[in-house]
């Protein structure tokens, strides 16, 4: 008797029926997935120049945290270097980006995407020399290259004048040199 009611009350033969004779909604595959949103392009490009795990010895063991140094810039004359420390790498990266935005510098760039004159700077034990070189491209090494790229500078020659391997200090020295233009 129930089968006859199910067959007689059907206005959509393909929909499955409940015991009361109502049709249940049919879900197609992948219909519950949220709508795709276009990714918003971030305001600044960023690159991690140094990441390290820092250990602190406390009573009862060791505590681990992460220290991240990164360069952020818009490739149009604004660049900054930031440092962030947190218990998780993603949190440390977010903090470093906020710090880089806070310490952002506007750099004077010529029409040929170079700098107006040569400049030197010293920060900590790092010392950097940057000179304009029209038509030669970007000649720089280590984290100084990243700073110059994110500042939007393409035709310069750079030299790290010390033996310092500290990437954070080298990057901060490059920003200091560029901001003194």
The per-residue pLDDT for range 108-132, each reduced to its tens digit, is 999 999 999 999 999 999 999 999 9
Q: What is the DSSP letter of 75?
A: S
45-105 carries CATH number 3.40.720.10: no
Both tokens assigned to 23: 């049709």
Alpha carbon distance 61, 120 (integer Å): 45
Phi/psi zone of residue 143: left (φ > 0), alpha (ψ -120 to 50 degrees), beta? alpha
Q: Is 12 or 163 the better-scoring residue by pLDDT?
A: 163
Q: What's the rounded Cα separation, in Å, for the pair 150 and 144? A: 10
Q: What is the DSSP letter of 23?
A: B
27 pLDDT above the threshold of 80: no
Query: Which residue in 71, 68, 70, 84 sits closest to 151, CA to CA?
Result: 71
- Residue 139: exposure state from Cβ atoms within 10 A (0-12, 13-18, ≥19): middle
| Assigned CATH topology for domain 107-179 | Ribosomal Protein S5; domain 2 (3.30.230)
Convert the pLDDT of each residue in 152-171 to its tens digit: 999 999 999 999 999 999 99
Residue 163 pLDDT: 93
Q: How many CB atoms lie within 10 A of CB 71?
A: 31
* CA dist., res. 126 & res. 167, Å (int): 9
Comma-separated ranges of CATH 3.30.160.20 domains in the chain: 45-105
**Residue 80 tokens, joined:** 């900054």
Question: Which residues belong to CATH 3.30.230.10 in the chain?
Answer: 107-179
The predicted-structure confidence for 50-88, as pLDDT tens digits, reads as follows 999 999 999 999 999 999 999 999 999 999 999 999 999
First to last CA, the chain: 91
Q: Are 113 and 152 in contact (CB under 8 A)?
A: yes
């Amino acid at each position: 008797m129930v089968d006859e009611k199910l067959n007689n009350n059907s206005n959509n033969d393909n929909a499955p029926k409940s015991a009361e004779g109502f049709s249940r909604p049919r879900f197609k595959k992948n219909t519950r997935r949220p709508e795709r949103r276009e990714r918003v392009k971030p305001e600044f490009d960023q690159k991690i120049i140094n990441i390290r795990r820092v250990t602190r010895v406390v009573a009862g063991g060791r505590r681990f945290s992460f220290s991240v140094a990164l360069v952020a810039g818009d490739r149009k004359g604004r660049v900054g270097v930031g440092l962030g420390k947190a218990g998780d790498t993603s949190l440390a990266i977010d903090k470093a980006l906020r710090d880089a935005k806070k310490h952002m510098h506007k750099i004077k760039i010529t029409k040929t995407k170079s700098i107006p004159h040569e400049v030197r700077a010293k920060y900590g034990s790092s010392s950097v020399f940057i000179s304009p070189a029209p038509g030669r491209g970007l000649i720089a090494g280590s984290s100084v290259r990243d700073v110059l790229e994110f500042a939007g500078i393409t035709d310069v020659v750079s030299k790290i004048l010390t033996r310092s391997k500290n990437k954070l200090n080298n990057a901060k020295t490059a920003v200091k040199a560029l901001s003194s233009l």
